[in-house]
Copies of this chain bind each other. A is one copy, B any other.
Amino acid sequence: MAVGLYVGRFQPFHMGHLKAIEHILKRMDELIIAVGSAQYSHTSRDPFTAGERIAMIRLALDEAKFDRSKYMIIPIPDVGVHAIWVSHLLSYVPKFDVCFTNEPLTSRLFKEAGLRVEAIPFFNRGVYSAREIRRRILKGEDWRALLPPSVANFMESIGGVQRIRDISKSDEIV
């Protein structure tokens, strides 16, 4: 049985992430979705808590009719020190066979540790990006189209749009 690992921050989870998971699950029997920077929330870069992001991923994958028995979602806190990041991640997740990532540093760290890395085909990357979604929310442009409807609804139900706007007016506690 082949197990894949897919690492992301999912701030928020969008259609590009969904396409990536679809791609990986065609190649692997099971998938571990690692939610990075798990301890952070309420910042411009990381507006949502790990718990909220796990809820988003569940909603999106249910909506897309993915079989829950094929994946697990694991939050991974940042340690802030790249040299130990792979060891740290390995201690949080069950064994896997392939890491799927397009991120150059993540890819390099996995390869330096001797792990197998595969790239994911990009899916309209300029548009389907968490940064673009956060930008559209701040500009008052249409952001819902970039997300699975269930995720867009969830974000609104928890006041996530207003949270992103409040945070943008404030770059710090105090």
Residues of A bordering B, CB below 8 Å: 7-9, 36-43, 49-52, 54-55, 58, 68-69, 72-75, 77-79, 81-88, 90-95, 101, 103-109, 163, 166-167, 169-170, 172-174
Contact = CB atoms under 8 A, between A and B. Distances in A.
A166 B108 contact: yes
A42 B84 contact: no
A126 B90 CA distance: 33
Contact of A55 (B7, B9, B94): B94
A170 to B, nearest CB: 4
Oligomer copy total: 6
B105 A167 contact: yes
Contacts of A173: 7, 36-37, 78, 82, 85, 103, 105-106, 109
Nearest to A11: B174
Contacts of A38: 92
B169 A104 contact: yes
A49 B90 CA distance: 9
Of A49, A73, A78, most buried by chain B (CB within 10 Å of CB) is: A49
A83 B39 contact: yes
Given A41-B83, A104-B167, 6 more contacts: A37-B174, A38-B92, A41-B82, A52-B94, A83-B91, A85-B173
